[in-house]
A and B are shown apart, each in its own frame.
Chain A
Amino acid sequence: MVQYSYFPGCNLKTNAKGFEKSAVAVSKKLNAELVEIPNWNCCGTVHTMTSDNLMKRIAPVRVLSRSRKHIEELEDSPNEVATLCSMCNSTLKIVNKEVKVDEDKLSKINYQLEEDEETYAEDMEVKHFLEILRDSVGYKNIAKKVIKELKGIKVVPYYGCMLLHPEEAKIDDEEMPSVLEYLMESLGAEVIFSPLFKFCCGSYHIVDDETIVDSQVSKILQDVRVKGANAMVVACPLCAYNLDYQQKKLIKQTGEKNPIPIFYFSQLMAIAMGEPIEINHFEDHQIDPRKLLKELKLEG
């Protein structure tokens, strides 16, 4: 069994429990177990694009340092920290690349870490779980573990911004990504392309101006409906929240009769691999995916 030092990030413990539990369950089945880093801290969520603010870069470096220590306790573990949340993934990756090339920045950050007897190790890499599935596990091995093909699910892969931007953090081609497509095909689902695959959902504007998010979400969903899909698959807890929660609100306002359930990619994997449905925490979703699964006889 290959074990990965896994950084969950705050949201997988609160709003997106089903994302984490389903991902950990399938990771064990695929011989690439995600093992949580003990005493991890918040990565800072959004990467600072300022050139003169080191404070905001300390948290991600601390995560990398703790992950490096954690790896020594694991079995056959590569020097990689695995992430699920695409915002954590992008923040950790960018800072990791920055400190690798900028010795001055690194030495100043290390000076802060030394108080806690921690230091950054240069041989660490950050990998999103999707990258591990694609590059280390392989779609063929995923398909072998499928016991219940997702027949009838017509799914639009929605990448959002942070899986594909910026250059330093992208997990796939930024204009022509394919990882979610191939993953869904290997589970037996029908993949439908939407040109709005990375049309920003409005992100953190949900806090200060919901109307921005509403406008973005209704455009994305309109295209999904026009294309005849019955589900969307995402990898970011914030995209999932905006698309799910605001969709419920928009349906109430417009009387739209075609709700689109939002799945995390790991939830669809867990269903296809016959994991118990409870691990997906579908009760946390506003648009209940169990209705669609029941119609297609994929529940339980």
Chain B
Amino acid sequence: MSYEYIKFGKEEREFREKIEEISGENVFSCYQCGKCSAGCMFSDKMDRTVNQQIHRIQMGQKEKVLAANTHWICASCLTCSVRCPRDIDVAAIMEAIREYILREEPEKIIVSELPKEVLERLPNIALVGNFRKMTG
């Protein structure tokens, strides 16, 4: 890891503080054991694993955190949160990253563009759940 990797400017600090405020968690509690990513059922589909994302937040890598698909792939199954040895609600941090983005750009999924057939076929809980996670 190069020295340039660590950024502690005002913008980066504010980003970390905002994530901590939304999630109610302290990201520095994480000691990078990797248990969350080891048990994550979606790790194989993520650009970066969950613990890598948390490490990036600790290091102030705002741009890189936001550019990854990790938090969008996370389906909030909460396996990481119940297993974390540091008692961090890891899934809440993923939710906080989603919220951070959605509060500025509220449409990760555009509901009006979904085909009618899909809306009629899918269970209500899938639709409501998805819109709650993917729209602001």
Contact = CB atoms under 8 A, between A and B. Distances in A.
B10 interface: no
A79 interface: no
Contacts of B130: 204-208
A101 to B, nearest CB: 13
Interface string A153-190: 00000000100111100100010000000000000000
B78 A212 contact: no
Contacts of B22: 50-52
Interface stretch (B1-9, B54-62, B120-128): B120-128
B65 interface: no
- Counting chain A residues whose Cβ lies within 8 A of the other chain, the interface size class is 35 or more
Given A46-B76, A204-B75, A166 B82 contact: yes
Contacts of A207: 109, 114, 118, 122, 126-127, 130
A262 to B, nearest CB: 13
Interface residues of A, dominant DSSP: loop
Nearest to A202: B75
Contact of B45 (A198, A212, A237): A212
B92 A241 contact: no
Given A44-B128, A212-B42, A15 B79 contact: no
A205 B71 CA distance: 12
A215 B75 CA distance: 14
A121 interface: no
Contacts of B24: 51
Contacts of B132: 44-46, 48, 56
A248 to B, nearest CB: 12
A14 B133 contact: no
B95 A48 contact: yes
Contacts, number: 122
Nearest to B95: A49
Nearest to A203: B75
A165 B123 CA distance: 21
Given A50-B95, A51-B23, A208 B89 contact: no
A71 interface: no
A24 B114 CA distance: 34
Given A56-B132, A199-B41, A241 B126 contact: yes
Contact of B133 (A167, A202, A204): A204
A174 B78 CA distance: 11
A24 to B, nearest CB: 19
A165 B82 contact: yes
A234 interface: no
Contacts of A11: 123-125
20 contacts: A10-B128, A11-B123, A11-B125, A15-B123, A46-B132, A49-B76, A50-B92, A51-B21, A51-B23, A51-B24, A51-B92, A56-B132, A87-B125, A165-B77, A166-B78, A174-B82, A198-B79, A199-B41, A200-B75, A205-B75
List the 4 closest A-B pairs by CB distance, nearest first. A51-B24, A161-B77, A165-B78, A204-B129
